[in-house]
Structure 1
Amino acid sequence: MPSSNRRLSLSVALALLVMGGSYLTSRASYRGYTGGTVATPQTQTKPGAKPGTRIILDHADLLSYDASLQPGVQRLKGSVVLKHGNATMTCDSAYLNEDAQVFEAFGDVHMVQGDTVHMYARYLYYDGVSKLARLRHNVHLANKTTDLYTDSLDYDRIADIAYYFEGGSISDAQNTLTSDYGQFLPATNDAEFRYNVKLVNDKTTMTTEHLFYNTHTRISSYEGSTLIKSDSGQIVSQRGIYDVGRDVGILLDRSEVYSGARTLIGDSIYYDGPSKFGEAFGRMQLSDTVQKAILYGDYGYFDDKRNYAFATSRAHAEEYSQKDTLYVTADTLELISLPIKGRRPVDSLSTDSTATSKLDTMQRYLRGYRHVRVFRRDAQAVADSLSYVSMDSTLSLYGKPILWSEERQLSGDTTHFYFRGKKLDYVDVLGSALTVEHIDSVDFYNQMSGDSLRAYIQDSTVREIIVRGKVESIYYMKDEGTNEYNGLNRMSSSTMHVYLDSGRVSKSIWLGPVEGKAYPLAMASGAEVNRLERFVWAADRRPMRKEDITTVGDSLPPSEQRSIPLSDLKRFSGAKAAMVAYEPFERKAREEAQRTDSLMATYRGLDPAAYRETYRCVLRPLPTDGEHDSPHTLIDTSWVYRAFSSREDQDSSSTSSSTGILKGKNSPSESNALGGK
């Protein structure tokens, strides 16, 4: 028996030795991970793999192996360190399959790629053949400038790309980006985002469907429906490039820019938020809700800091501040706004909370250059150029303008329209003035010409016309019985007044030397009789509908129009136009500043007594001023109207023809002047 026991002991020892050797020389096999959403098939490393490409186990507190449970798989626990090339992975525990060159890591997983990219997660599956790392649960990727957070991240070491697909965010020093799908290249800081993309920082919020973004340069490229909100305004776009840091963008595919009360739309737009200007190319539309105007053109520009807008190439404008919209077209249109010095809103001048009107604090200029055409339901005009000044409420047409209203035509060298309370008050025609009225459907025309003409307007109807300087007129006469035309009256004088009622002449007055001759209708068929020398009836030039303004130069309907090539638009410069437009105002401001500096230098050289003596009329009096003043006041107020002392004086008053000031008819001063007592 002793020999039998010894043989049994040797057999057991030999078996243990064989098992231990097998354990020490075995290679772990991969156990497929089924606890998560990722399924990774088992692969086998090809024989003869290159040295240095294998996963290396650098450290583990405990290594165990059970071939019956997990053939070929080593179980690692405690401070596990694995290396593959220039990547190092640490974790609490892991399964390592050296044959397949894959492992799974659990716990506090930390992966470092080349000492520059750090990745953290609760789970990691790594394939050493494809060099693909799949991190799950509370994933955090970080490099020197960027942090990425998600719950599922794949990192391709060969391409150096990290991407998530179940929602995530990327943050840098200023911005946070979130999306359903995203990928990030740590080496170049380039990122791509898709689906429900949102970028947020202190000044900007951007939402889009597809975004390329560099976390270092902070320049983005977007596609799809995009909304950008910033301190300077709002952008609606489909495609473009946007510098998030500088708030500057190149916007394509019919984008829209909102800045204050202005909206800029164009096929392509260059936008600078901090400078508050935009430049649009192709089918530009610039609207201003405060000024109630819209500018159109193939090229447009606006500078919000200077309150300047510019449109050219098929440019036209719509002004809708009144009941009837005004349509204007020209080769070039400008809208300039300047602050009125010393003008403050009514709210700052009065405490009346019921006041609804406010003083306008801006003076506005609208200018049109070359081939001006104007249309409104009650009036139409053509001219070479146009100017409107809001403070004076004056609209001026230059370069042989022609104005039509109903059947009446008005022309001259220059025409000025004066408005009062948004209604036309009167019109001045200067140089070669001519007014023509077409009578009914026949070829009869009432005519007046002179050196200048003024027409007074009431309720959009001409009520009075005054013509001065070499006045000539032709008016057709009607038979009162038959109400048919029976002749014409041709007259000349130095001045002519015509009063109209419902568009018809009710009274006419000729002043100065008057010459005239009446012709029966049978003798008035020739142009030498029925036409003035300056006569012209330009009905073919008259805009008859708004489409004559909005589609000027286009034979195609608006839906089929195409903008001119971008290469042709490069010759325009809105910035240069703004500088040219503002140069006269800036020159005037410099001159005023120089004049002010000169006055300041003058009075600063005076001593206090001399200064007060010089400017005493505008300074608050001192208590001692009255003791030494002469009995004569500094300002003569004798011309100021003084109220009558009695009702009789008031009843016997008249109006002075020279000053328009009421004066008593039998006042002592008048009696003395007439020799009375």
Structure 2
Amino acid sequence: MKSILLLILSCFFSFSGLAQGKRIQIIHSDNSSIDEVRLPGATILLGNVVIRHEGIKLNCKKAVHYKNQNFIKAYGDVVLNQGDSIVQTSQYTEYNGNNQKALSWGNVIIKDSKMTLSTDTLNFDRNRQLLYYRYGATIKDSINVLTSNRGNYHLDTNKFQAVSDVVLTNPDYVLESNHLDYYTNSGQAYLYGPSTITSDDNLIYCEKGFYDTKANISHFTKNARIEFDEKEIKADSLFYNRNLGFASASNNMVIIDTLNHVVLKGNYAEFFEKVDSAFVIKKALAITNTNKDSLFIHGDTILATGKPDKRIIRAYHSVKFFKSDLSGKCDSIHSNQGNGITQMFRSPILWSKKSQITGDTIQLLNNTATNTLDSLKVLRNAFIIDKDSIGYNQIKGRNLYGKFEENDLRFVNIIGNSEVIHFVRDEEQALIGIEKTSCSEIHFVLRDGKIESSKFINLPDGQTYPPSRLPKNARKLRGFIWRESEKPLSKNDIFIKDEE
């Protein structure tokens, strides 16, 4: 029984020794004393105090050593070294040799090969190789200065976690966040919660993201947006290269140009900041004149290039557009916002109120001062059709030149091989006859797509027939195709793919 008791006591004291850890070693002091009244169980060390423990060296002017507790308090010009990698200075440090935890305050500065941390109060857990503070600190590395109210620094991974009023200052920008993970060896930052990055060129906002402060490359994934002067880019996922001035955006992308009243939307876009240009694919949409009656343009690809005074918008393949009083479709469209000219190519068709207009090429001229339609050109195989209750009014010729009033096509000149079929009605809209005429040139005045008056130039050939005298097969000009089923009736219709 006695031997068992001795074995238990032996194990207990062995365990206690392990729990206490290795003893703090006093290497040097100029003087030492004991004052059991004021500091029971302590040794007071004065002058050039040098202490060692488990790979650290501590120097100070004064220390109080509690040998039994394996604990020390250091005062005055305290310097703590961990190997060759960590140097800390402060006015006061407490160090526990059993758990290898230190608490320092008073102008605390700690350095390693990657950074310098300054604070008033700092905790150092050597077992976890963790520095942490709760009352504000500043970290400096070769590029950035970072401040926050609370933070942790993991020495083994060079990872700094900062929370509450985090500010990272770079020569090119200032980053502010509520939570930032920053790696001092790589300069990479991970953002959590509302964050902004402000520079002379732009402002970035996100609620989750990544920023490489050395390469100036970033990726934001929650409520991300970039503001460039009069422009803003928003998307579910946003990549940005500050050095190149390049951004790419994915899913629910929106580019807003407030100066030119243009909005680009889609599920993927690339923006080139230095040349002020962008292209959009995947349900691409351009919205112009956003403060009045908007024009919606859709194509497989949309490009916006050039500075504001020379901005050009191009849309390619399966292009459709819609406006309350104007819609159309073609293979590609080219719109110059500087001179107000919009050109439609490859099988273009335009619907102006009740009129259907086709030709090889259609050009629209916008009044840039009033932002209203000014004039129209239809080059080669021009054809206008307007549906009457019993047929179709038709105007055909080589080229067509038209003039708008309040976005209504009012004056039309047909030049070359001109032909017309017109259902003539009186003021009560009763049918008088059907006019069918051809000549080299015809001038019309229209209202709401209907002919008010006409003038035939150079030996017109034709007449007005009673309806019974003009067969139905003669009431359509060569090349007639009525394409009302293709007309977009709303902004949503421009995304409907037509059957071949």
Find the partner of 1:306 among 239, 255, 275. Answer: 275
* Aligned-CA RMSD value: 2.7
Aligned 1:214-225 pairs, distance under 5 A: 214-225=183-194
Query: Is 1:463 aligned with 2:385?
Result: no
Aligned 1:81-480 pairs, distance under 5 A: 81-320=50-289, 323-337=292-306, 362-420=309-367, 421=369, 422-439=371-388, 442-479=389-426
- Which letter does structure 2 place at the counterpart of 1:426? S
**2:353–2:448 CA contact under 8 A, matched in 1:** no
Query: Is 1:484 aligned with 2:430?
Result: yes
**2:353–2:449 CA contact under 8 A, matched in 1:** no
> 2:3 maps to which residue?
none
Whole-Å Cα distance in 1 between the matches of residues 16 and 446 of structure 2?
A: 111
After superposition, the Cα gap between the structure-2 partners of 1:281 and 1:322, relative to the gap in structure 1 and judged at 3 Å, is closer
**1:45–1:100 CA contact under 8 A, matched in 2:** no
Query: Is 1:530 aligned with 2:475?
Result: yes
> 2:31 maps to which residue?
62
After superposition, the Cα gap between the structure-2 partners of 1:294 and 1:484, relative to the gap in structure 1 and judged at 3 Å, is same
Query: Is 1:516 aligned with 2:462?
Result: yes
Identity %: 28
- 3-state DSSP class of the match of 1:159? coil
- 3-state DSSP class of the match of 1:129? coil
How far off is 1:49 after superposition? 4.3
**1:233–1:273 CA contact under 8 A, matched in 2:** no
> 1:506 maps to which residue?
452
Whole-Å Cα distance in 2 between the matches of residues 70 and 499 of structure 1?
A: 110
After superposition, the Cα gap between the structure-2 partners of 1:322 and 1:112, relative to the gap in structure 1 and judged at 3 Å, is closer
After superposition, the Cα gap between the structure-2 partners of 1:533 and 1:112, relative to the gap in structure 1 and judged at 3 Å, is same
- Which letter does structure 2 place at the counterpart of 1:408? S
How far off is 1:46 after superposition? 4.1
- Which letter does structure 2 place at the counterpart of 1:73? A
Query: Is 1:546 aligned with 2:495?
Result: no
How far off is 1:216 after superposition? 3.3
**1:449–1:534 CA contact under 8 A, matched in 2:** no
After superposition, the Cα gap between the structure-2 partners of 1:50 and 1:408, relative to the gap in structure 1 and judged at 3 Å, is closer
After superposition, the Cα gap between the structure-2 partners of 1:137 and 1:518, relative to the gap in structure 1 and judged at 3 Å, is same
Deviates more, 1:509-518 or 1:195-204: 509-518
> 2:7 maps to which residue?
none
After superposition, the Cα gap between the structure-2 partners of 1:369 and 1:178, relative to the gap in structure 1 and judged at 3 Å, is same
- 3-state DSSP class of the match of 1:305? helix
How far off is 1:523 after superposition? 5.9
> 1:582 maps to which residue?
none
- 3-state DSSP class of the match of 2:191? strand
Q: Deviations over 1:138-178 (max 9, x none)?
A: 22212234221122211111222211122211122432211
- 3-state DSSP class of the match of 2:485? helix
- Which letter does structure 1 place at the counterpart of 2:361? T
Whole-Å Cα distance in 2 between the matches of residues 501 and 391 of structure 1?
A: 29
- Which letter does structure 1 place at the counterpart of 2:340? S
**1:479–1:486 CA contact under 8 A, matched in 2:** yes
Whole-Å Cα distance in 2 between the matches of residues 478 and 427 of structure 1?
A: 27
- Which letter does structure 2 place at the counterpart of 1:424? L
Deviates more, 1:419-428 or 1:365-374: 419-428
> 2:4 maps to which residue?
none
- 3-state DSSP class of the match of 1:245? coil
How far off is 1:136 after superposition? 2.3
**2:279–2:304 CA contact under 8 A, matched in 1:** yes
- The structure that is helix-richer by fraction is 1
- 3-state DSSP class of the match of 1:274? coil
How far off is 1:294 after superposition? 1.4
Whole-Å Cα distance in 2 between the matches of residues 390 and 411 of structure 1?
A: 23
Aligned 1:18-57 pairs, distance under 5 A: 46-49=15-18, 53-57=22-26
* TM-score, length-scaled by structure 1: 0.66
Larger radius of gyration: 1
- 3-state DSSP class of the match of 2:98? coil
How far off is 1:66 after superposition? 4.8
**1:118–1:141 CA contact under 8 A, matched in 2:** yes
**2:354–2:448 CA contact under 8 A, matched in 1:** no
| Number of residues of Structure 1 aligned to a counterpart in Structure 2 | 483
Whole-Å Cα distance in 2 between the matches of residues 180 and 449 of structure 1?
A: 76
**1:466–1:497 CA contact under 8 A, matched in 2:** yes
- Which letter does structure 2 place at the counterpart of 1:413? D
> 1:496 maps to which residue?
442
How far off is 1:314 after superposition? 0.5
- 3-state DSSP class of the match of 1:53? coil
Whole-Å Cα distance in 2 between the matches of residues 150 and 542 of structure 1?
A: 69
> 2:9 maps to which residue?
none
Whole-Å Cα distance in 2 between the matches of residues 504 and 188 of structure 1?
A: 78
Q: Deviations over 1:377-412 (max 9, x none)?
A: 321111111012345432100121111122112112
- Which letter does structure 2 place at the counterpart of 1:228? I
- Which letter does structure 2 place at the counterpart of 1:131? Q
- The structure that is strand-richer by fraction is 2
Whole-Å Cα distance in 2 between the matches of residues 157 and 264 of structure 1?
A: 46
Whole-Å Cα distance in 1 between the matches of residues 15 and 39 of structure 2?
A: 21
Whole-Å Cα distance in 2 between the matches of residues 495 and 530 of structure 1?
A: 20
How far off is 1:280 after superposition? 0.9
Uncovered stretches (5+) of structure 1, i.e. residues with no partner = 1-43, 339-359, 555-677
- 3-state DSSP class of the match of 1:548? helix
